[in-house]
Amino acid sequence: SWRPDLLEEFGVGPIVAATVLCAWSHPGRIHSEAAFAMLAGVAPIPANSGQVTTRYRLNRYGDRQLNNALHTVVQSRIQYQPATRDYVARRTAEGKTGREIKRCLARYVARDLYRLLENTPTAA
C-alpha cells in the first residue's frame, strides 16, 4: 500500500482509500483544501432566495466517485463513531437538517483527508 496512513482514518477502507488516492494523484496537484473540497463536490454553494441568505446547497459537480467515497466515510462515522453521533445530535438541536449536517461532515472529512495526504511524507 502506498499510503497505509489513510486506512487508519475512521471509516476509510481499502476501496475508499484507493478512490481518494486516484483523485488526489500526487502532492501539489491540488493547491488547497478548498480546491480538494470543490473537486470532491462537497464545497458549499450559496442558495440564497429573497430574504433567506443562510442556506447552502450541495455541489453536484466534481469527481462523483470521490464524492461517493466521502459519503461512505460520513455514513460509517454517523453510524459507528460516538463523537460524530454527538455532533449530529448537537447540530440537530440547533435546527440543522440531516442533509445540512451530512454536507458539513463531508466537508470536514475532505479537509481531514487533504491535510493527511499533503502533510504525510511518502516512503520510497
Contact yes or no for 41/60 (Cβ under 8 A):
yes
**pLDDT at residue 123, as a whole number:** 56
**pLDDT at residue 120, as a whole number:** 64
Q: Please tell me the distance from the alpha carbon of residue 105 to that of residue 112, in angstroms, as a whole number.
A: 10
Contact yes or no for 59/42 (Cβ under 8 A):
yes
**pLDDT at residue 19, as a whole number:** 95
3-state secondary structure of 109: helix
Q: Which residues of the chain, if any, have pLDDT below 70?
A: 1, 52-53, 120-124
Rg of the chain over all Cα atoms, to the nearest angstrom:
15
**pLDDT at residue 78, as a whole number:** 97
Write out the three cell numbers for 12. 476509510
**pLDDT at residue 77, as a whole number:** 97
Class of residue 39 by CB neighbours under 10 A (exposed 0-12, middle 13-18, buried 19+): buried
**pLDDT at residue 23, as a whole number:** 92
**pLDDT at residue 88, as a whole number:** 98
Please state the domain extents for the chain. Answer: 4-119
Residue 69 has phi, psi (to 5 degrees) of -65, -45
